[in-house]
A = this chain, B = another copy of it.
Amino acid sequence: MQPQDRSAATARLVVEPLDLNYSLRDKVYDALKQAIMAMNLYATREELRLDERQLSADLGVSRTPIREAISRLEQEGFVRVVQRRGVFVVRKSKREILEMITVWGALEGMAARLVTQHASDEEIAQLRRMFATFENDQLRAHIDEYSETNIRFHQKLLQLSRNELINQIASNLFAHMRSIRLKTIGEKDRAERSIIDHMNIIEALERRNTELAEKLARQHTLNLAEHVQNNVQYLD
């Protein structure tokens, strides 16, 4: 730093380590996943093909990282690659959706169980605070915010379980569920029912009632499965 002092101590710049491990493949993956999730898949019925060469031109990279990204998306169930035919965006069947919700229910129940065993009172209190806005008769006024809070509640519950694997699997399921517009949630009576369920779950967590919390969390999700089963027609 000071050239006249040849024996200067080496200066220590405070710098963040650069994020390597973030290759073209990952960028392409993010871009494609986001694009797929944004495309409101279930509004149409035609086959949606991804053209490797087109994407290569559009994104300005070669086919290689694109193929690697596609291969990952295939693994996660977002696209299907058919030899010499093309890459197609996957539409989940109603059955597959129901299976996903069922697995979600199993994970959420287990997460609730773990929360009663491992989370602090303060952490559980965070869950309750999320619903302060909707207490009493406030729900009607904030119904539009509720959907977001609903999602955050479930994510927080999973997170408090401190089981990374549960979170990882659930977040993949969630990505699929999200791309289906489960507008059904928005119905007012279901929102009220949903809030009651959540409050009951929170209460069971606060009381550290492991069996009850697990059962309520699981059942809450299985109720959604039943509702989808009975009321969703726009899947095949």
Contact = CB atoms under 8 A, between A and B. Distances in A.
A213 interface: no
Contacts of A165: 96, 99-100, 102-103
Given A21-B83, A83-B20, A169-B169, A102 B68 contact: no
A139 interface: no
Contact of A71 (B68, B83, B96, B114): B68
Given A21-B83, A103-B110, A106-B107, 14 more contacts: A67-B68, A75-B76, A96-B165, A99-B164, A99-B165, A99-B166, A102-B163, A102-B165, A103-B163, A103-B165, A105-B110, A106-B106, A106-B166, A109-B109
A23 B82 CA distance: 11
A107 B114 contact: no
Interface in A157-181: 163-166, 169
11 contacts: A23-B83, A68-B71, A75-B76, A96-B164, A99-B163, A99-B165, A102-B110, A106-B109, A106-B110, A109-B109, A110-B218
Interface residues of A, number: 28
Interface in A11-34: 20-21, 23
Nearest to A72: B75
Contact of A75 (B75, B100, B109): B75
A105 B161 CA distance: 15
Contacts of A169: 103, 169
A233 B157 CA distance: 31
Interface in A68-84: 68, 71-72, 75-76, 82-83
A23 B20 CA distance: 31
Contacts of A114: 102
A201 to B, nearest CB: 16
Residue in A102, A106, A165 whose Cβ sees the most chain B Cβ within 10 Å: A106
Contacts of A109: 106, 109-110
Contacts of A21: 82-83
Most chain B CB inside 10 Å of its own CB: which residue of A23, A99, A105 = A99
